[in-house]
Structure 1
Amino acid sequence: MKSGSEGDVEIRNIYCVGRNYADHAKELGNDIPEAPMLFMKPTHALVHGAKKTLDLPADAGELHYETELVVLFKEAYSPEKTLQEMIGQAAVGIDFTLRDRQEKLKQKRHPWLTAKGFKYSAAVGPFFPFDEKQWQTTAFRMEKNGEIVQEGSPGQMIFSLRELVDFTGPLLGIGPGDLLYTGTPEGVGKVEKGDKLALYYNNQKAGTFWIETT
């Protein structure tokens, strides 16, 4: 699947990391993981661009946003390669979650796919060049209807980007065109029809999404 007009990148796999910020795990009443928690989204979940309207489910309980830094791989994984050699670009994205459905699935110990993998549930703004030296201090945030609701930085992550890549690569494989959502900080919340979600990457505009529901 093509990621959109910004670079016309062929997206292959969408890997996501759960509970990678301690305060986010606590706000949802979850334990802090001892190893990275991975899940995936189908490629049809992806929507990429600077300005997009998202048509999301309205009849499946509360719909929540989870703002995250996302990296795009340009080379296949190897433990000998640096992050700079493997990762070409970074962006701010939103992992949309049907929270009520997810809670029911968790209670039954079932996979989260139907709560995480619905169409347009993986929104990604425009890509920026990845800089490994500056990564740890990268700042990102989301404003909902003009109010800051989430902000974070890789320095707050439980598992660093290197740890995430070294965990994911040997188990699942990482190659050119793969995306990795690196986890969300505290402040996740509900979205409703008409909401405007504006993303920022180091204080630069990094995508705007409007919520439509059906």
Structure 2
Amino acid sequence: MTETSSDFVFSPAPQPSVPVAGTSARFPVRRILCVGRNYAAHAREMGADPTREAPFFFAKPGDAVAPGGGNVPYPSATSDLHHEVELVVAIGGSGRDLTPEQASKLVFGWAVGVDLTRRDLQAEAKKAARPWDSAKGFDASAPISEIIPFEALPNPTGRIRLSIDGQARQDADLGDMIWDPCEVIAEASKLWQLAPGDLIFTGTPEGVGAIGRGEQAVAEIDGVGRLVFRMV
């Protein structure tokens, strides 16, 4: 059955989407999965042991994307908002219980993303052993660049970095990931049926820190793109 607008009690929300580089087409976002502590140095700065920890995931709603940067609203209920620059994988196929080799076939493309985090709320949630939803899944918590298709960039390599008002904060190599993107996709597929429209944030390097109102973030990944936004 195909629903029409008259079948709903009110008009459905607009479809969240992200522009695709080199085309007028847009990538419709289904959901956002995020990997925690996927760079050894960042795991250590967050008090974890990267040699023993298996990948773990948390999620943001699809409408958390803030495509193209620009002005991003500073969220309510926090006094300690943090930036986390990440390589984002855009999924263009379906799969479950995949090997890394199979997972590579699902990649539609890549983007630069920033996982904005209410760090104070996250700390409270950790202390009480509660979920992180309010710390991670708020409105506009996922600024993201346009997506560069896989055909144009099969294997991103090089530097991932972020600066605030011109001051370098995060600077690492994509090769520093504990689990590479295809391994991340494969691990996610053991927990969810992946489908076109999924975005996977693959983790952030060390140097996460606060971003305040009025400050501008510049996030870059070699070959993938550049994302600029200001908290307002």
Fold-level match, TM-score > 0.5?
A: yes
Alignment correspondent of 1:100: 120
The counterpart of 1:41, out of the listed 28, 49, 60, is 60
Distance in 2 (CA, whole Å) between partners of 1:26 and 1:57 is 27
Report the number of matched residues: 209
- Alignment TM-score, normalising by the size of structure 1: 0.90
Distance in 2 (CA, whole Å) between partners of 1:194 and 1:175 is 37
Displaced runs of 4 or more, over 6 A:
none
Q: Does the 8 Å CA contact 1:61/1:101 hold for their aligned counterparts? A: no
Distance in 2 (CA, whole Å) between partners of 1:115 and 1:41 is 10
After superposition, the C-alpha distances for 1:83-108 in whole angstroms (9 at most, x for unaligned) are 44211110110000111110110011
Q: Does the 8 Å CA contact 2:18/2:146 hold for their aligned counterparts? A: no
139-148 or 188-197: bigger deviation: 139-148
Q: Does the 8 Å CA contact 2:16/2:62 hold for their aligned counterparts? A: no
Alignment correspondent of 2:109: 89
After superposition, the C-alpha distances for 1:80-136 in whole angstroms (9 at most, x for unaligned) are 66444211110110000111110110011111011000101111112123334x33x
Task: Tell me, yes or no, if structure 1 residue 172 matches structure 2 residue 192.
Answer: yes
Alignment correspondent of 1:190: 210
- Alignment TM-score, normalising by the size of structure 2: 0.83
Question: Which runs of no fewer than 5 residues in structure 2 stay unpaired?
Answer: 1-14
User: 1:58 offset after TM fit, Å?
Assistant: 4.8
Q: Does the 8 Å CA contact 1:139/1:203 hold for their aligned counterparts? A: no
After superposition, the C-alpha distances for 1:158-210 in whole angstroms (9 at most, x for unaligned) are 11222211111121111111000000000000000111111222167512111
The counterpart of 1:16, out of the listed 18, 26, 34, is 34
Aligned-pair identity in percent equals 35
Distance in 1 (CA, whole Å) between partners of 2:73 and 2:86 is 20
Task: Tell me, yes or no, if structure 1 residue 3 matches structure 2 residue 20.
Answer: no
Question: Which runs of no fewer than 5 residues in structure 1 stay unpaired?
Answer: none
Task: Tell me, yes or no, if structure 1 residue 115 matches structure 2 residue 132.
Answer: no
Letter of the 1:194 partner, please give it: G
